[in-house]
Copies of this chain bind each other. A is one copy, B any other.
Amino acid sequence: MASNISALSGGSLLLAWQLKDKHVLIVGGGDVASGRIESVLVADAKITLISPRAGLHSLTKRFIEATDRITYHDRVFNGAEDLGGIDMVLTAIDDVEKSREICALCRSLKIPVNVADIPSSCDFYFGSQVRDGPLQIMVSTNGQSPKLANIIRRKIEESLPEHAGEGIEKVGILRSKLKERAPGVGGEVGKRRMRWMIDVCNSWEMEELALLDDEMIAKLLDDGWEKNRVPKLTEVAPHARGTAASKSDLQGQESLLPFAMSIPLMCGFITGLVFTAGLVTRFVGNTRH
């Protein structure tokens, strides 16, 4: 890795920024702003939205009406007084002068800022995103091609295991129940916990993890963690037997393969049959005459 160090360049530092109970100011209420609002709500932030009502996108209006997590001001940005207690600023207005002014103010106050469409006025960029419960994926082309970022995002969405969000959620619950049962930070118990969780994630399919409920989690800990092994789904949920598929059964392509193969096999068989029958007929015909 270090040998190819010159290749380590030209990218961004991808981060999952924490905004729980933080204050985000969004300036502008149009199409782009409505997308920003959604992303910021996902991160549990409190939003102050500043935009004349005439400029509000219909989705922005619905957000304002639907949640008390947005404090809305029907006016333009007023200057530094609007930045008190603000942890992050996102602007999405058409006024380039005003945008640059807001950016300069933010930088003087060390508030992270993103100005839509002006890369030099951005401390960070947004990317194309996938979200499924606790699972979040971002695709960035570092500004080279938003369209290709979108195409790749769609491919990723299609390739994700079914129920990935649910599976991750259940594993999160399993992990915290395990921590209750075998507490302690770091050390031997921490390492054993990590190893066992890795084994569970490697052994169970995402669809199987998504089926976990409280009862099954308790049984998985009793019969698995306590005995230092990883039980199968059918062991912790006997009622799931029959409906639950094993790791290999769940791979659709593999189970379809024998069927797909049987067609050329049959065609070949018939051709071989006809070919030999033809040969024999000629041979028999030749010997008879």
Contacts and interface: CB of A to CB of B under 8 A. Distances in A.
Contact of A15 (B9, B14, B269): B14
Interface string A194-212: 0001100110001001000
Interface residues of A, number: 95
B135 A152 contact: yes
Given A11-B43, A136-B14, A197-B147, A141 B168 contact: yes
Q: By DSSP majority rule, is chain A's interface helix, strand, loop, or mixed?
A: helix
A18 B144 contact: no
B280 A276 contact: yes
B144 A156 contact: no
B5 A67 contact: yes
A158 to B, nearest CB: 8
A154 to B, nearest CB: 11
Interface stretch (A34-42, A75-83, A226-234, A240-248): A34-42
Contact of A137 (B41, B138, B280): B138
B2 A66 contact: yes
Nearest to A198: B147
A123 interface: yes
A118 to B, nearest CB: 10
A140 B137 contact: yes
Contacts of A43: 11-13
Contacts of A72: none
Contact of A134 (B5, B67, B136, B141): B141
A255 B250 CA distance: 25
Contacts of A266: 268
Contacts of A101: none
Given A135-B141, A160-B152, A125 B2 contact: no
B8 A17 contact: no
A261 interface: yes
A136 B63 CA distance: 30
Contacts of A54: none
A285 to B, nearest CB: 13
Nearest to A274: B272
A37 to B, nearest CB: 9
Interface in A1-37: 1-3, 5, 8-19
Contact of A18 (B18, B125, B159): B125
Contact of A19 (B13, B144, B265): B13
A261 to B, nearest CB: 5
A38 B136 contact: no
Contact of A276 (B15, B144, B277): B277
Interface in A143-201: 143-145, 147-148, 151-152, 155-156, 158-161, 164, 167-169, 171-172, 175, 197-198, 201
Interface string A57-98: 001001101110000000000000000000000000000000
